Chain A
Amino acid sequence: MVDLSQYLPILLFLFIALGLSALFVFLPMGVSRLTGAHNPDAEKLSEYECGFPAFEDPRSQFDVRFYLIAILFIVFDLEAAFLFPWAVSLDLTGWPGWITMMIFLGELAVGLAYAWKVGALEWD
């Protein structure tokens, strides 16, 4: 089994973060409930849209270009993810490891140059 004690700092950090953010959310709610007047009715709780009743789904259709951006992001995100084990093991892999990674980066750089040149990165 793994020695989990090495994760203690991050665990403490998460607990403190969770506690603080919960405090920031719920404290104002509680205080305002205790100090202010509170009589809701149906009209008050309905959403306010410049005086008109809301007449369509607020979720509008996205452009397909977002998808292209997301795919390109995934590719380069994976590239970055592969850099982590490479960086920490470079003393074990030596020059072959270094050259391997440079070729890998070169392949994706060709892809980036292609995407850039055909205008996949431009919005208009």
Chain B
Amino acid sequence: MIQTLAFYLFAVLVTASATMVILSRNPVHSVLWLILSFFNAAGLMVLVGAEFIALLLVIVYVGAVAVLFLFVVMMLDIDFSELRAGFMKNFPIGVAIAVVLLTELVLGIGAYRAGALQLGAPTGDAVPIPGRGNIDSLGAVLYTDYLFLFEAAGIILLVAMVGAIVLTHREQKATRGHQNIGKQVRRNPDEATVMKQPEVGAGVEL
């Protein structure tokens, strides 16, 4: 009972906030709605018992990806109201595509319901370790059976990092603000100042 209630609560909120992501006028609001839908998706994941996915959704998606989206939205110099101006022009095409997709969906589900499609039965023999939670079972295979792939995933993260730095980081051309204190302290009056006795009308050469 409470599970069904919780499911519908989360599902309705996910759908509603996802709709608001598309509909809200301000892109920053879109990102905030996206965060709400991530939270509710995490709730759904808890309901089906995938606790680690729920954890990842909150930590990685809400904590990091949404922040990145915010930065990107802030970084882009785009007038979003101008982008929306083409909406009415492209509206008929959008409706046509939506109708085609809806027809396909209805036909597919109809054929499946009528028994014309034999999808076959999904199988799977992954059994959680008795007495341990979802996260423990996941860890038990991830760091032993799949250790090779885990290390490769580490290399992927490394490449992502190097790539981001290679593409966006620029050497600072001016060394403004970098003072070398040791060099300043080592200076003494003899090196720092020069006495000149200029002749009249000849000027000074430094």
CB of A12 closer than 8 Å to a CB of B: no
Q: Are B164 and A1 in contact (CB under 8 A)?
A: no
A-chain residues with CB within 8 Å of residue B49 when the two chains form the complex: 1-2
A-B pair number, CB within 8 angstroms: 156
Q: Mark A113-124, 1 if CB is under 8 A from B, else 0.
A: 011001110001
**Segment touching A, from B54-62, B183-191, B193-201:** B54-62
CB of B123 closer than 8 Å to a CB of A: no
B-chain residues with CB within 8 Å of residue A1 when the two chains form the complex: 3, 49
CB of A54 closer than 8 Å to a CB of B: no
CB of B147 closer than 8 Å to a CB of A: yes
Q: Are A70 and B64 in contact (CB under 8 A)?
A: yes
Q: Are B60 and A74 in contact (CB under 8 A)?
A: yes
CB of B143 closer than 8 Å to a CB of A: yes
Q: Are B139 and A73 in contact (CB under 8 A)?
A: no
Give CA–CA (A74, B165) in the complex, Å.
14
A-chain residues with CB within 8 Å of residue B140 when the two chains form the complex: 89, 92-93
Out of B6, B52, B147, B157, name the residue touching A111 (CB < 8 Å). B157
The count of residues in chain B whose C-beta lies closer than 8 Å to any C-beta of chain A is 55
Give CA–CA (A85, B64) in the complex, Å.
19
| Residues A85 and B52 in contact in the complex (CB < 8 Å), given A96-B147, A100-B151 | yes
What would 16 A/B residue contacts be, using CB atoms closer than 8 Å? A2-B46, A2-B48, A4-B2, A4-B6, A61-B75, A73-B64, A74-B60, A84-B52, A84-B135, A89-B132, A89-B135, A89-B136, A92-B132, A107-B157, A108-B154, A115-B161
Binding site for A on B (CB under 8 A): 2-3, 6, 28, 46-49, 52, 55-56, 59-60, 63-65, 67-68, 71-72, 74-77, 129, 132-133, 135-140, 142-144, 147, 150-151, 154-155, 157-158, 160-162, 164-165, 168-169, 171-172, 176-178
Binding site for B on A (CB under 8 A): 1-2, 4, 7, 59, 61-68, 70-75, 77-82, 84-90, 92-93, 96-97, 100-101, 103-104, 107-108, 110-111, 114-115, 118-120, 124
